[in-house]
């Protein structure tokens, strides 16, 4: 439990380098483990979720050395993994679970998989369904949740899968199984989801075709170890972008942020709300990077629809906070996926921000945020709960900057899932 005070009258200033991208750090570990030879990852995100992925591969016999934010992996190829001596513990990581269900679905030994209480309530059926069509043998609970077993399996076959909803995790699970499957695997997307898996597969020497919403690949003979420089995570940068926009007299620069066009929804949405964000591109061989500079500005309400969600799903809690300070209403729809994150993020965002006087209506697939609301702590202090969700914890911390009165935040340790050191970095720009 910690006490947070409002920002001073002079606002937030300086430069921030947020940690490496969580989604890319996960994938770099996975590809490095199944590639031949050495993979070196720099600016690696050593957060709880990603460290669980690392531990899983160590339990599968992969040699991995970590020195702070640098990781060295000695990959042994698709067939180099060994049977684990204990269940694979995914912790709170939905990304690890769903992607590894695909990647590990063609091994000659059983792999029990477990997760923490929160992860064990999150649905896995939408991943298991296409993988089962490919010949994978995955046993889950009757509710389609962990604990489960990825069973020994000798053969996978390619399928054509029409994605019912946009999901990078489901798509990636299919592709990671597809690189080991006989025949051709095709994934059809009506709305494009983030493409980190496709980009990284190519970086490791794999081949695939992506055209007009159809991704096609065949069995890959061998991937080769690579040097991977992980960009700063745009979903972590989002908290500082919004903080600078809504805290009076602020100007911040966030360094070396990944601006992959399938992940930059936060930039597009904030721009539509009236923000002017200075984007300074950085020359790079990997994922596109830029420095982002933002100043305090007046925002206005907009409609955020299903087409916006895939590229901004992780940022919707902090976007909701921004919307409370905008002129007019912001309507978020088509965001049912928020119901099955670490928390029901629709309900949790509303419950926490409402404690500060925000006026938000709940919808089955989103929310209506009535803007122009001053945030206030009753009796000079209000208790906000992180609810075990890292993005809710950080949203609450940013809300505290503009709240009249103090915020008492519980469960702040949840931030370590994606951003260890968040509060320290926030304090630095408040000086």
What is the set of domains in the chain, with CATH numbers? 2-20+231-430 (3.65.10.10), 22-216 (3.65.10.10)
Specify the pLDDT at position 271. Answer: 98
The HSE-up count of residue 380 (CA atoms within 13 Å, CB side) is 0
The pLDDT-based confidence of 378 (bands split at 50, 70, 90) is confident
Q: 68 with 31: CB under 8 angstroms?
A: no
Res. 15: pLDDT tops 80: yes
Specify the pLDDT at position 166. Answer: 87
Rounded Cα gap, residues 335 and 315, in angstroms:
12
Residues involved in catalysis = 314
Specify the pLDDT at position 73. Answer: 98
Res. 11: pLDDT tops 80: yes
Res. 379: pLDDT tops 90: no
The pLDDT-based confidence of 382 (bands split at 50, 70, 90) is very high
pLDDT tens string 254-277: 999 999 999 999 999 999 999 999
Record the pTM: 0.89
Res. 31: pLDDT tops 90: yes
Rounded Cα gap, residues 193 and 162, in angstroms:
13
pLDDT tens string 42-79: 999 999 999 999 999 999 999 999 998 999 999 999 99
Q: Which among 306, 305, 332, 336 has a CA at the least distance from the CA of 321?
A: 332
Q: Which residues contact 290 (CB under 8 A, 6 or more apart)?
A: 256, 257, 259, 279, 280, 281, 282
pLDDT tens string 294-342: 999 999 999 999 999 999 999 999 999 999 999 999 999 999 999 989 9
Res. 373: pLDDT tops 80: yes
Structural tokens at position 327: 């002129």
């Amino acid at each position: 439990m910690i006490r947070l005070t409002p920002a001073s009258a002079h606002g937030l200033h300086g430069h921030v380098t947020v940690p490496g991208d969580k989604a890319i750090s996960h994938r770099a570990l996975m590809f490095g483990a199944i590639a031949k030879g050495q993979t070196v990852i720099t600016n690696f995100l050593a957060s709880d979720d990603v460290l669980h992925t690392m531990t899983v591969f160590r339990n599968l016999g992969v040699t991995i050395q970590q020195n702070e934010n640098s990781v060295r992996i000695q990959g042994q190829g698709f067939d180099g993994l060994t049977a684990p001596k204990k269940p694979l513990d995914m912790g709170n990581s939905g990304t690890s679970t769903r992607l590894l269900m695909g990647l590990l679905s063609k091994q000659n030994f059983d792999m029990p998989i477990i997760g923490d209480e929160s992860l064990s309530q999150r649905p896995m059926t939408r991943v298991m369904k296409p993988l089962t069509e490919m010949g994978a043998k995955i046993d889950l609970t009757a509710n389609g949740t962990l604990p489960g077993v990825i069973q020994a399996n000798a053969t996978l076959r390619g399928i054509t899968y029409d994605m019912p909803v946009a999901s990078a995790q489901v798509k990636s699970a299919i592709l990671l199984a597809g690189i080991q499957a006989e025949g051709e695997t095709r994934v059809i997307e009506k709305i494009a989801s983030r493409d980190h898996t496709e980009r990284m597969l190519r970086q490791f020497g794999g081949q695939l075709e992506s055209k007009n919403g159809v991704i096609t690949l065949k069995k890959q003979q061998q991937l080769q170890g690579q040097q991977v420089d992980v960009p700063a995570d745009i979903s972590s940068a989002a908290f500082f972008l919004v903080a600078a926009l809504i805290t009076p007299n602020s100007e911040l620069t966030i360094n070396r942020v990944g601006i992959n066009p399938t992940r930059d929804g936060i930039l597009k949405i904030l721009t539509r709300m009236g923000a002017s964000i200075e984007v300074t591109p950085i020359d790079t061989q990997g994922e596109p990077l830029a420095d982002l500079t933002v100043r305090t500005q007046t925002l206005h309400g907009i409609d955020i629809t299903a087409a916006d969600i895939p590229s901004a799903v992780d940022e919707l809690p902090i976007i909701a906070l921004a919307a409370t300070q905008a002129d007019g209403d912001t309507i978020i729809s088509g965001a049912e996926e928020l119901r099955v994150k670490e928390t029901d993020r629709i309900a949790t965002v509303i419950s926490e921000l409402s404690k500060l006087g925000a006026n938000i209506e709940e919808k089955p697939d989103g929310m209506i945020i009535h803007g122009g609301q001053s945030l206030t702590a009753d009796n000079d202090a209000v208790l906000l709960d992180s609810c075990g969700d890292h993005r809710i914890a950080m949203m609450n911390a940013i809300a505290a900057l503009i709240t009249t009165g103090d915020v008492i935040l519980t469960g702040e340790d949840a931030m370590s899932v994606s951003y260890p050191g968040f509060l320290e970095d926030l304090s630095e720009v408040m000086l």
